[in-house]
Each structure stands twice: as structure tokens, then as C-alpha cells.
Chains A and B, each alone.
Chain A
Amino acid sequence: MSNPHEAFREEAYELLTSLESSLLELEESPDDLEIVGAVFRAMHTIKGSGAMFGFDDISSFTHDIETVYDLVRNGELAVTGALVSLSLAARDQIKAMLDATCGGDSCDATRTEELRGAFRALLPVKEDASAAAPGPGKVANPAAALQRTYRIRFRPNREIALSGTNPLCLLNELRELGKCQVVAQMDDVPPLADLDPEQTYAYWDVILTTGEDIDAIKDVFIFVEDDCHIQIDLIDDEELLGTDSSYKKLGDILIERGDLTPDALQEVLRQQKRVGEMLVEAKVVSPSKVASALAEQQQVKEIRSQQQQKQQGGDAASIRVPADRLDRLVDLVGEMVTIQSRLSQTALGREDAELISIAEEVERLTAELRDNTLNIRMLPIGTTFSKFKRLVRDLSQELGKEIELTTAGADTELDKTVIEKLNDPLVHIIRNSIDHGIEAPEKREAAGKKRQGTIRLAAIHSGDSVIIEIVDDGAGLNEEAIRRKAVEKGLVGEQELLSRHEVFQLIFAAGFSTAEKVTGVSGRGVGMDVVKRAIEALRGSIDIDSVAGQGTTIRVRIPLTLAIIDSLLVAIGEDCYVIPLSIVEECIELTRADVAASHGRNLVRVRDRLVPYVHLRDEFAIAGPPPEIEQVVITAVNGNQVGFVVDHVIGEHQTVIKSLGRMYRDVQGLSGATILGDGKVALILDIPQLIQRAEQLA
């Protein structure tokens, strides 16, 4: 598009030319209102566009002439030869001013003032100069941070739609101002037969908490304020904050709004039920009015308690406790959970109804105690994020790179122990990104990227795990280099066919490093294999994806807690095993006939899909014949379904994880053990590892 200033100038010159001929015509026929109108319009347009494109002097000068011609147009002033001459002079002056803006001779400002004075002299005394183009926009309110809560009742005129206003657009605009609750009042909507679809019957109560001032709210209704009933009341602000978070009672709110009389309230208060219900039953207010008042009550309460927390800075409301005491507490809760399951089992065995009901109560309380205790140990992951900021800053300076670390989801909570154990792997991954991922600024510029590289660290909740993503916009993994290296190290055969994903997985193999030179930052022989092992020790998983030239994404999935998990208890022969419930999708039956039909391929049909399965009885070499009908527990790890065949599925179980003794720590396929209600030990299956083992064997 051409320069708008240029467009304005061109247009103005054209207008001035036609203005000149109009003025000359006007001299011939001073009574022709048509010509007066044309002169007025020319002036008007020059004024309007002039102000728009920053030609303020032209605009304000033209304003005075326009004012005079407005009077002429309305018959309050006669066209004289003198006025035409003056106008022609003014026209030349405007042209001179325009010329000056595009490098012509500078125009004579005193002449401008002279002409202006002459035009003003033509005006009646009560001229209103303030009508000159007002400045656009308003000054932003500097103290906008103060949160105030307003109650807005927006009752539009029934005809509002006929003027092209959509009330919903206005409500949406309010929503953008802050925390907002809208309650529609439909009392006035008539039955369908009487309803005129062109009319607006509904009206709205809005409770808005915003940092904007009341003018911003009024601005929303600027076009409709004359034909709508709009009432805006300040009902709460930070300065009014009391010591507790309670707020006015429902009845008081309704009375304050004029929806209810105090007498009517007293009348209904005599019966004792919830105020809202009583009022509605008594038909003194409609249910939607009560809903609206309740919305107000709730929002103000919420805001107040938030503010209180903010004021106390979270300090007064928390106490410091040595970590080992917490650990001890979690251990005790674990014991408790174990004992509780024993109690439940015993109670069921006794068939004593009273004992069973006590056991159930204990079960409920223990579950609550467990959740609360584990919650105590939850910390926002942001505490480690801030450490990484420093790391990135120092390392990038050392390596002469420009890197920005952005973080998201810092308030995502994880078990304290998990966060501690995550630190080293994350540091390693970020170091890798800085050292091998993000290129030097010059190299980035040559590749058409921003000089500054970005590393994004994000944590999000996903079911009972937290996913931590480390995304860089660096060079990405070099598929070919990884492959070459892997062949060199004898990890894969030269001719072996590997998918892109499989190639990337190779970097998790022991002692793998593709960087050509060893820097002080990374490449010290501690590779991604260590990272992977650390993550897996946390019962997590790690995945990598990369696009050459665009960057690398590493995704770490970590379970929320380590101590106690929900799981599925299964049995094979005499022994019980535990499968974490988070990865179990469903259980289906497997008959001898099914086994025979699959011709030893270990595939089972789940709806329309064939799912491979692992026969745990074979896997663990458990003696004895399997039952006639076995169960397949279908699990999903990294989006792949794999079934595990067991004898029986016993049911859900709260599992307190105990680590295995030193001797058994390296046994593949097991991640720990737990004690069952009857005192027996059940082994916890490490499903991802079992799947990996099965893949290797296949």
C-alpha cells in the first residue's frame, strides 16, 4: 500500500483544486446551497484527514473556516465577496502549508494566524473552540493493579438488536476485563407464543473483578448507555478488605440491589432452610436472581481469600518442617495403609458386619490421610526452574552463545524427592541443548534464524504423571551422524534398517556422544544413558524427537509420587504381582482356544486391533499348568499397547512401594515390592522394562 501521508497530500491537492472552482462559482451564485455544501465538505474532509495523518496545523486552521461555512450552510451567515476572497486566500494558505510538508518553501505562520483571525471575526461571539479535534485515546490509569469487584446490571432496551447491537459482544468485552461471572435473568422472557424474536427480553447481572477503573467498564456500554439501564456498583476492593473472607449475606445483597424488600426477607427468614431456597419458594425473588447474588457472594469470597493469601505472602500460612520428619510421616502412612488392607481382609473373612463397617471407615480415612500426607511433600517444580536460569546464563556466556530460557508451568507440583532426583538429569539435558543444540549466533544468522536461541522448559500435568518438556530451537539431531557413530561403536549393524525414532533412541545407549569436540560443558563421558537410567529409577520415561535445523524436543514423563501408588493386583500360581494402575488400560480373557488360534504368535484381538502379549508365567518360569481361562492385562506405554497374561486379576490395590534389597536391585522387570494385607510380599512389575526385554528377545 502506498504511504497514507502521500495519499492524504494527493487527495488534499485535488480537494483544493475543486475548492477553488467551487469558490469561484459561489462568487457567481452566492445563494446556491449546493455549492456551499461542496465547499463545506471539502474543508471538512481536509480537516478530518489532516488530523488523522498528523497534519495538525492544517487541520486546526481548516476547522475555523469550516465553522464559518457551517453557519453559511445553516443560513446564519451570508456569502459575500469578501468571504469568497478570504476563503480563496485561505485555500492558498492551506496549499502553502501542504507544500511545506513535502519539502516546499516553509509557509508563513503569521499569515496563517491573520487569516484565522479574519475567519474567527466572522463568527458570533459564543463560538465554541473546544470542539476542535479532540485528542485520541485516553491516558492509561497508572494504578491499575488494584483489584476491584463491581456488580453490573445490564438491562438493555427491548429494541436493542434493531440498532445493530449484540449484547453478547458487550458481555464478552466485559469478560476480557477480568474475572467475570455473568448470570442471565430470563424472568421477562414471555412464553413462546407471545415471543417476538426481534425483541431482547433477557437481562444480565455481571460480577466483575478487574484492575481497570470504572470508566473502562462504562466504555464497554458507551454506545448503549442512553437506551439501556446500566447500573454499576463497586462492591468490593482491596482497601475494603476485612480480616476475614466472609461477605454480605445473600439477603443483604438482594436488598441492596433493590430486588427484595427487607420486610419480605424477614418474613421468609422465619422458616429455617437455606436462604436462597426459601426466597425462591416464597416467590419473592426468582431463582436466577438468587443465582446471580450467589455468584457475587462466591466471587467476592474467592477474591478476598486470594488477596489475604497474597498479603500474608504465604509465609504466615506455612511452617518449615525438617524433610526427614516428613519422610518419616510418609513411611508411617505407608505402614498404616498396609495394616489397613490387612484389617479389611480380616474383616471380610470374619463376616462380621460391624467389623466390616469399621474397616471401611478406616479404609476411607487412610486413603484421605495418604493423599494429604503425599500432598505435603508436593513442591512446585519452579524451584528448580529458577536454578536453570542461572545455569543457562553462565553457560551461554562461557560458550559465546545467546540463549534465552523460557519456562512454563512452574507451579506444577511434584514430590519433593522426585524434584531433587530430577535435578541432575535436567541439568544434563539443558547442558546438551546449550552445547550441542543451540548454534553460535553467527551460524544461526547464516541459517536465517534469530541470533538468540531459545530453550523452553515446560511442565504439565498429565493424568498421574507430570511431563517435562525441554525444547530448543537449535540445530537438531543429525540422524546420519548418530547412525554412523552407532555403527562405529557396534551398537547397530551397518545394513540395519532403523526408523528415525529408533535412530534418536540410540543416543540413550551407554557411552554415546556425537559432538566432535569435547568441551568443558558436556561430553565428559556421562551420556544420555545416565539420564535415561536416572529417569527410569524414578519410574519415569524419556523420549526424544528432533527436526534437523529446527531443534530438539526431549520429553520426560515422571509419576507424581514415588511412595504410594494405585495399582492392579494380579496372581500367577501362588504368587501375587502388582502392576501400576496408571498404565493399565483394560483386562480381557484369554482362553486356551484363543492361544491355539494365534498359532504361537502371542497376539490377542482387542476389539479391532491385534495386541501382542507377554506370557508372564513363561517369562518368570513359574511351574504348574495355567488355568483354563487366563487374563490379559492390557497396558499402554508410550502409546503402544502390550498385554500381560496372568492367572487371575485380584483387583485394585493401594501399593506402598518398598525398594528391593541390594541383591535384587538389578533384576530386570521388577521395580520394587510391597506387603499385602495378609503379610505376603508382592513384587511390583516394571512394565516398560518387561516390554523392552520382550522386544529384544523377539
Chain B
Amino acid sequence: MAKTILAADDSRSILQMVSFTLKGAGYAVVEAGDGQAALDLAKKQPFALVITDLNMPRMDGITLIQNLRTLPSYKFTPILMLTTEAGETFKTKGKAAGATGWLVKPFDPEKLLGVVKKLIG
């Protein structure tokens, strides 16, 4: 069965690209427009991987990651943050919140697939 990935981003175009890329590689993708929507979705079903943007309305990515990590079923789930900032502080902040890895925007689809493969094989 295809692994299902939850992708959260307030940019529809990014979301579309992420979704298109991952679906092309055989993953199933569920899209969320912001952190809160992602959290609600995550509570309803388990995901193999969560990909989240950091700057989002309603709930930002860091808060989403922190919230996910408090859920027992998301204790070990890989979480990838997509960020426009390349700075170390974001990586540190993200990792402290419980992110597994990060990918700096803009990225090319190959790179995204490489990272996803690294995280969930």
C-alpha cells in the first residue's frame, strides 16, 4: 500500500508541486492549507510522514510540529519542514520542536524525493 504523506503549506502552488512530485513517485498525499488544518487531519488518521511549511496562518509550522509530537501516534513519525530561510536558527528551532529534517525552498522535485526517501525509505 502506498505510504500516505500529509503536506501542509499555505501556498497552493507549493502544495500542488509537492503533491504532484510525491504522487508521481507513488506516495499518497493529503493536503492541508495551514497548521491547524494539518493538525486536525493528523488526529484523524496516521501519516507516514508530515511535510510542513513554517509560515502559515492560524497555526505556524513550529507549533504544528510541537503539537504533533505530543500525540502518542506521532512520537516517531518523521516530520520534514519546508522553509524559505536557510539560517541555522530555523533548523535549530525546528529540531528543538521535533522536526526530523528540513528542506530549503526553492527546491527541485528530485531533491524533495531524495529527502522523503531518506526519511521513510
**Least Cβ distance of B25 to chain A in Å?**
15
Determine the chain A residues whose CB is within 8 A of the CB of B20 once the complex forms.
Answer: 1, 4
Does A48 contact B111, Cβ atoms closer than 8 Å? no
Known A-B contacts A4-B16, A52-B14, A198-B75; the reply to A137 vs B111 at CB < 8 A is yes
Known A-B contacts A41-B55, A48-B84, A223-B118; the reply to A164 vs B13 at CB < 8 A is no
**Least Cβ distance of B110 to chain A in Å?**
8
For A10, A49, A172, which residue has the most chain B Cβ atoms within 10 angstroms?
Answer: A49
* A170 touches B (CB below 8 Å): yes
Does B16 contact A163, Cβ atoms closer than 8 Å? no
**Residues 38-89 (chain B) with a chain A CB within 8 angstroms:** 55-57, 69, 75-79, 84-87
Does A162 contact B76, Cβ atoms closer than 8 Å? yes
List 19 A-B pairs, Cβ < 8 Å. Answer: A1-B16, A4-B17, A7-B12, A38-B57, A44-B84, A47-B84, A48-B14, A48-B106, A51-B106, A52-B17, A136-B106, A137-B108, A137-B111, A166-B119, A169-B118, A169-B120, A173-B117, A222-B101, A223-B100
Determine the chain A residues whose CB is within 8 A of the CB of B10 once the complex forms.
Answer: 41, 45
* A134 touches B (CB below 8 Å): yes
Question: Known pairs A164-B100, A165-B100, A168-B121. 20 more at Cβ < 8 A?
Answer: A4-B13, A4-B16, A10-B12, A40-B55, A45-B10, A45-B55, A47-B84, A48-B11, A49-B11, A52-B17, A131-B86, A133-B105, A136-B106, A137-B108, A162-B98, A163-B95, A165-B78, A166-B120, A169-B121, A223-B102
For A136, A137, A173, which residue has the most chain B Cβ atoms within 10 angstroms?
Answer: A136
Does A162 contact B14, Cβ atoms closer than 8 Å? no
A10 to B11, CA, bound (A): 11
Determine the chain A residues whose CB is within 8 A of the CB of B32 once the complex forms.
Answer: none
Interface residues, chain A, with chain B CB atoms under 8 Å away: 1, 4, 7-8, 10-11, 38, 40-41, 44-45, 47-49, 51-53, 59, 131, 133-134, 136-137, 161-166, 168-170, 172-173, 198, 220, 222-223, 226-227
A45 to B34, CA, bound (A): 13
Does B106 contact A163, Cβ atoms closer than 8 Å? no
Range of interface residues on chain B? 35 or more
Residue of B nearest to A132 (CB): B86
A166 to B111, CA, bound (A): 19
Does A49 contact B14, Cβ atoms closer than 8 Å? yes
**Least Cβ distance of A343 to chain B in Å?**
60
Partner of B85, one of A4, A131, A170, A172: A131
Does A134 contact B75, Cβ atoms closer than 8 Å? no
**Residues 6-26 (chain B) with a chain A CB within 8 angstroms:** 10-14, 16-17, 20
A131 to B86, CA, bound (A): 7
Known A-B contacts A134-B86, A136-B107; the reply to A223 vs B13 at CB < 8 A is no
Does B106 contact A11, Cβ atoms closer than 8 Å? no
Determine the chain B residues whose CB is within 8 A of the CB of A1 once the complex forms.
Answer: 16, 20
Does A166 contact B55, Cβ atoms closer than 8 Å? no
Residue of A nearest to B79 (CB): A164
* B99 touches A (CB below 8 Å): yes
Does B13 contact A49, Cβ atoms closer than 8 Å? yes
**Least Cβ distance of B99 to chain A in Å?**
7
**Least Cβ distance of B106 to chain A in Å?**
4
Does B11 contact A45, Cβ atoms closer than 8 Å? yes
Determine the chain A residues whose CB is within 8 A of the CB of B99 once the complex forms.
Answer: 163-164
A11 to B11, CA, bound (A): 8
Determine the chain B residues whose CB is within 8 A of the CB of A170 once the complex forms.
Answer: 118
For B10, B13, B105, B121, which residue has the most chain A Cβ atoms within 10 angstroms?
Answer: B13
Residue of A nearest to B68 (CB): A164
Does B104 contact A134, Cβ atoms closer than 8 Å? yes
A214 to B107, CA, bound (A): 22
Residue of A nearest to B57 (CB): A41
Determine the chain B residues whose CB is within 8 A of the CB of A166 once the complex forms.
Answer: 78, 119-121
Residue of A nearest to B76 (CB): A161
A136 to B17, CA, bound (A): 15
**Least Cβ distance of A200 to chain B in Å?**
11
Residue of B nearest to A45 (CB): B11
Determine the chain B residues whose CB is within 8 A of the CB of A134 once the complex forms.
Answer: 86, 104
**Least Cβ distance of A529 to chain B in Å?**
49
Determine the chain B residues whose CB is within 8 A of the CB of A45 once the complex forms.
Answer: 10-11, 55
Determine the chain B residues whose CB is within 8 A of the CB of A165 once the complex forms.
Answer: 78, 100-101, 119
**Least Cβ distance of B115 to chain A in Å?**
8
**Least Cβ distance of A209 to chain B in Å?**
21
Does A11 contact B12, Cβ atoms closer than 8 Å? yes
Does B106 contact A173, Cβ atoms closer than 8 Å? no
A49 to B57, CA, bound (A): 16
A47 to B104, CA, bound (A): 13
Determine the chain B residues whose CB is within 8 A of the CB of A169 once the complex forms.
Answer: 117-121
**Least Cβ distance of B13 to chain A in Å?**
4
Does B119 contact A52, Cβ atoms closer than 8 Å? no
A172 to B84, CA, bound (A): 29
Determine the chain A residues whose CB is within 8 A of the CB of B98 once the complex forms.
Answer: 162-164
Partner of B118, one of A7, A11, A173, A227: A173
Determine the chain B residues whose CB is within 8 A of the CB of A47 once the complex forms.
Answer: 84
Does B111 contact A164, Cβ atoms closer than 8 Å? no
Partner of A51, one of B87, B101, B105: B105
Determine the chain A residues whose CB is within 8 A of the CB of B84 once the complex forms.
Answer: 44, 47-48, 51, 133
A47 to B11, CA, bound (A): 11
Determine the chain A residues whose CB is within 8 A of the CB of B118 once the complex forms.
Answer: 169-170, 173, 220, 223
Which 3 residue pairs of A and B lie closest in terms of their CB atoms, listed nearest first?
A164-B100, A164-B78, A223-B101
Does A52 contact B100, Cβ atoms closer than 8 Å? no
A137 to B113, CA, bound (A): 13
**Least Cβ distance of A131 to chain B in Å?**
6
For A8, A52, A220, which residue has the most chain B Cβ atoms within 10 angstroms?
Answer: A52
Known A-B contacts A134-B86, A169-B119; the reply to A48 vs B105 at CB < 8 A is yes
Determine the chain B residues whose CB is within 8 A of the CB of A226 once the complex forms.
Answer: 95
Determine the chain B residues whose CB is within 8 A of the CB of A10 once the complex forms.
Answer: 12
A53 to B109, CA, bound (A): 11
A161 to B78, CA, bound (A): 9
A44 to B53, CA, bound (A): 11
Partner of A164, one of B14, B76, B86, B110: B76
Does B119 contact A8, Cβ atoms closer than 8 Å? no
Determine the chain B residues whose CB is within 8 A of the CB of A59 once the complex forms.
Answer: 106
A52 to B104, CA, bound (A): 11
A45 to B117, CA, bound (A): 26
